[in-house]
Amino acid sequence: MAEAEQHIPEEEEEDPEDPQDVLKEKCGELPDCVKLKELFDECEEAVESGEKTTDCSRQLIDFLGCVDKCVARNILSKLK
């Protein structure tokens, strides 16, 4: 009779954290970017409540631009 094969579970490797995602989160917390995010949130609230009938794409673009500029300035130092 053949011996039953024992299955040894392999440890799952965790994917390393993406430095760009980490930077996006940190950059989004910078005072300049926080102000732009607040303007976007205020605009969204105004649209949802019916006070404003336009969209908030300009505010969103401003916020994302702030985050992207910060990430671009810092990403190379985080790469190996």
> In this structure, what CATH number is given to the domain that contains residue 29?
1.10.287.20
3 state SS for the chain: CCCCCCCCCCCCCCCCCCHHHHHHHHHCCCHHHHHHHHHHHHHHHHHHHCCCCCCCHHHHHHHHHHHHHHHHHHHHHHCC
- pLDDT score at 27: 95
Domain count, the chain: 1
Residue 1 pLDDT exceeds 50? no
Asked whether residue 1 is domain-assigned, the answer is: no
Asked whether residue 68 is domain-assigned, the answer is: yes
At 5-63, the pLDDT tens digits run 555 555 666 777 888 999 999 999 999 999 999 999 999 999 999 888 889 999 999 99
- pLDDT score at 30: 96
- pLDDT score at 12: 61
Asked whether residue 59 is domain-assigned, the answer is: yes
- pLDDT score at 58: 96
